Amino acid sequence: MTTPLNERRIANAIRVLAMDAVQQANSGHPGAPMGMADIADVVWREFLNHNPTNPQWANRDRFVLSNGHGSMLQYALLHLTGYDLSIEDLKQFRQLHSRTPGHPEYGYAPGVETTTGPLGQGIANAVGFALAEKTLAAQFNKDDLKVVDHFTYCFLGDGCLMEGISHEVCSLAGTLQLGKLIAYYDDNGISIDGEVEGWFSDDTEERFKAYGWQVLRVDGHDADAIRQATIEAKAETQKPTIIMCKTIIGLGSPNKQGKEDCHGAPLGKDEITLTREALGWNEVIPADVYAAWDAKAKGSESEAAWNAVFAQYQAKYPTEAAELLRRISGDLPAEFAAQADAFIRETNAKGETIATRKASQNTLQAFGPLLPELLGGSADLAGSNLTLWKGCQGVQENPAGNYVYYGVREFGMTAIANGVALHGGFVPYVATFLMFMEYARNAVRMSALMKQRVIHVYTHDSIGLGEDGPTHQPIEQIASLRGTPNLNTWRPADTVETAIAWKSALERKDGPTALIFSRQNLPFQTRSEEQIQNAAKGGYVLAQEKGELKAIIIATGSEISLAMEAYAQLEGVRVVSMPCAEEFMKQDAAYREAVLPAHIRARVAVEAAHVDYWWKFVGLDGKVIGMTTYGESAPAKDLFQFFGITTEAVVAAVKELTA
């Protein structure tokens, strides 16, 4: 005899799947899925507008599990509602090459919108989703036809709210009036170390009210209350909403619910037996429960209804429809590459000696009108990063704008940009001083890990920024960026390399790019057409040796001018500009050998940053001129002299190696 179908029994399917998978893996977090099952039941079965048969449907609602350690909650939901995630996939939870890794990973299982491992970044991504939806809707929707119209739902826990990034992004979300963002706070009072009241006593309700959010409180196990709160949240069009759900972690486990014991460890076989008895659950998932969860028919109907609206939109607004489809696909305009190349040649002809941050702004001014998908922003440094161009409009004043004033929120800004990129329809770029990349470091890593086209603009690239001193002078940051897998890091030497770097970043669809620009003016370097083409390969011969090749000088950015000055004083020396080592290493062996012949052991690298990175290119027989300490506060010219990053030092190093 089967138990009558009811709300709690439907939700219990999540509890059973979660505790069984964690037990089989002997690793994981059963408590959050079991505690949030009732919330998930209401949100996913009644409100989430999605189509399991087409996980990439453009107008789907976005769902983010910010407390990503509870990943079995999301995997259970995807499986139950009909995504291509089988029971066998769930049995492979946390195993090598499985589609169900320990935390939700973008690109592994259909329906996972973002990678949520580091706490707090999920809610930040959700803010990015909501920002992208609101901006894209303002740019494309018409009074009679709305083709961009969806919500972002986010689950989060105590850990997310303790992380500082949650303050950064939730504050901004309120200011931006992201009314289609709805967050469900799993207020269970438990973290790994026990009851959180000893270290987390914030008044969360007043905190979010101060941000400008609508705040609702419910019993997280009362389906009717959750349902009504969600209706209220959707009705509030100006304020984002947080629904504070009082829950019991591990609900259903007779001996471990409400305790830290079930937070990050399997329940144990005996406890699972007791839990099954308490839940009245014998089978894995009964057919009637599967039927109650199945969202395929409903999702297909929703997508079909949207397709009908979009067909009307295409008929009435064909230009806008084609543009929206292009932008969602991630393809740049067909004419962009040729127009960008023309600008690069014009820049080469001008031969300006300016700071590369100014060259970057000039490039944005040229490329911006060609790329309506650009959504820029800076962490309260637009006047220093030079990220504004004449066509910029702030989304704060114009919802259809293309620029975000992020305020002093480097970490939040970068994680929001990841969400914008994941949403689709935009190519986000964000900016701060290179030194303050450190605040954003983990979000930069996440954009690389998820292979998202996010452009990280960093200015004030070295001790060359001068008097602000060591607190603002980056030393190890460039090496840190270069050490990040799947991140391209460009440090251009002048206007031409800057334009080439921007073009490369914009055209790259399989990962992020860091663009590192100078505050001070950098001399223009004359190039042939072939050298311009080779610069896009990340490393190339800027100055050919006079006579027999005896030594190679490798440099980037502002130090290219030192290398060229040394070149003028030496015979048999080649100068290699290496604006992007990652791109250079992607080239074939023949090209790399042509630029850096293996038999030339006399190599000198020069860069006003930490020396350690460059040993891979110069070898133990070579020399690296750069920084091994932090900087000082003084004019840039004095600093370069004091730290020995000079033309004379380069000349002396070459002579020593070739003696």
- Please state, in angstroms and as integers, the Cα–Cα distance from residue 565 to each residue in 335, 506, 562, 576, 647, following that order: 39, 32, 5, 13, 6
DSSP, residue by residue, 504-549: HHHH--SS-EEEE--SSEE------HHHHHHHTTT-EEEE--SSS-
Residues near 440 by beta carbon (within 8 Å), at least 6 away in sequence: 410, 411, 413, 414, 415, 432, 456
Average pLDDT over residues 538-551: 97
Task: Please give the annotated binding residues for Mg(2+), written as ranges.
Answer: 158, 188, 190
Length of the chain: 659
- Answer whether residue 365 shows pLDDT above 50: yes
Residues of the chain with CATH 3.40.50.970: 5-300, 335-516
> How would residue 284 be classed by pLDDT, with cut points 50, 70 and 90?
confident
pLDDT tens per residue across span 108-120: 999 999 999 999 9
- Answer whether residue 636 shows pLDDT above 60: yes
Residues near 37 by beta carbon (within 8 Å), at least 6 away in sequence: 11, 12, 14, 15, 18, 73, 251
What architecture (CATH level 2) is domain 5-300?
3-Layer(aba) Sandwich (3.40)
pLDDT tens per residue across span 148-185: 999 999 999 999 999 999 999 999 999 999 999 999 99
Q: In the chain, pLDDT over 70 holds for what percent of residues?
A: 99
pLDDT tens per residue across span 33-83: 999 999 999 999 999 999 999 999 999 999 999 999 999 999 999 999 999
DSSP, residue by residue, 580-615: -HHHHHTS-HHHHHHHS-TT---EEEEEEEEGGGGH
pLDDT tens per residue across span 377-408: 999 999 999 999 999 999 999 999 999 999 99
- Please state, in angstroms and as integers, the Cα–Cα distance from residue 550 to each residue in 254, 431, 567, 573, 654, following that order: 77, 41, 12, 6, 9
pLDDT of residue 54: 98
pLDDT of residue 1: 34
- Give the residue from 169, 247, 227, 189 showing the smallest Cα distance to 440: 169
Contact 250, 267 (CB under 8 A): yes
What architecture (CATH level 2) is domain 537-658?
3-Layer(aba) Sandwich (3.40)
CATH code: domain 335-516 is 3.40.50.970
- Answer whether residue 268 shows pLDDT above 50: yes
- Answer whether residue 12 shows pLDDT above 50: yes
Residues serving a catalytic function are 410
Round to whole Å and give the CA distance between 324 and 326. 5
pLDDT of residue 126: 99
- Mean pLDDT of the residues in the chain: 97
